[in-house]
Amino acid sequence: MEQDIREGARISWQVIGTGPRPALAIHCMLGTSDMWGPLLSPLAELSTTAFDLPGHGKSAPWVAEGAAPGAYQTLATRIAASFIERPVDLIGHSFGASVALRIAVAAPEAVRSLTLIEPVLFAAAKDSPEWAELRPHQDHLDTLLAEGALEEAARRFVRDWGAGAPWDTIPDRHRARFIAQMPIVANVTPSNFEDPGQICRPGGIEAIDAPVMLIHGDKSPPISARVCEALAARMADVGTACVPGAGHMLPLTHTRQVTELIALNLERS
């Protein structure tokens, strides 16, 4: 792992592969860059930079107290952009996919291809039935976070968006880490639902001219498929894929299928 100060934060990253095509991979909330190794190592044409988000993996902690709502997404976007020196194959999962999309909207010329795995940009599907179904669950999570009930908030977050492991079976050190990261989740929530970064602004998504692949699992929360559908409707060159039997953490649980879908998108660019 390498380390450097980027946008005022000490960030760790690793490079996966030695291929001629530069890529950048952005992991999910509560994840780390290590998740990308098994997924991207088979793609011999890539040399992928995968960094740990602030407060994740080996990067330095991030202090949520006093930060403006949605500030974390802005910081993560700026850090990710700092790794881009020429057009890249941009890959993101969950929160990382929303960050990747924000980069593609802001600087479409920087993106050679774009693979988005279950982006949590719920604002793209605002007022849909799936949005209405999700809101009560999110409202309850918001209440827990506001009251400082971080362990229960972490339990519910992992239940809804994790890989399916019951909370009590997760090793203590990982549970402690998830609990400590809940203030980051609280800061990110407005980015997901209110889109302060204006990713969904008129003409923004439409300006992406790189090939896009949108991936979701058929066992994921229903909002995931709806977001992918809403985004795809605004993109010129897009493929969509639903992975059978997969939930939100499909990069970990259905690695081979996701790798093959990324490879298909690389072939189009």
The CA distances from residue 131 to 8, 33, 144, in Å, are: 35, 29, 20
Domain residue limits at 111 = 2-129+187-267
Q: Is position 155 within any domain?
A: no
Q: Is position 48 within any domain?
A: yes
Token pair in block for residue 107: 């600087």
Q: Is position 143 within any domain?
A: no
Give pLDDT tens digits for 33-57.
999 999 999 999 999 999 999 999 9
Give pLDDT tens digits for 5-36.
999 999 999 999 999 999 999 999 999 999 99
Percent above pLDDT 70 for the chain: 100
Number of folded domains in the chain?
1
Q: Is position 180 within any domain?
A: no
What is the model's pTM?
0.97
As a whole number of angstroms, the distance between CA 227 and CA 155 comes to 24
Instruction: Spell out the residues 6+ positions from residue 149 whose beta carbon is closer than 8 angstroms to its own.
Output: none
Percent above pLDDT 90 for the chain: 97
As a whole number of angstroms, the distance between CA 203 and CA 65 comes to 34
As a whole number of angstroms, the distance between CA 196 and CA 73 comes to 9
What pLDDT score was predicted for residue 107? 97
Q: Is position 148 within any domain?
A: no
CATH number at residue 86: 3.40.50.1820
Q: Where are the beta strands (DSSP E) in 21-156?
A: 21-26, 46-51, 88-93, 111-117
The CA distances from residue 87 to 46, 74, 92, 254, in Å, are: 13, 21, 16, 28
Q: Is position 181 within any domain?
A: no
Strand partners, 24: 49, 90
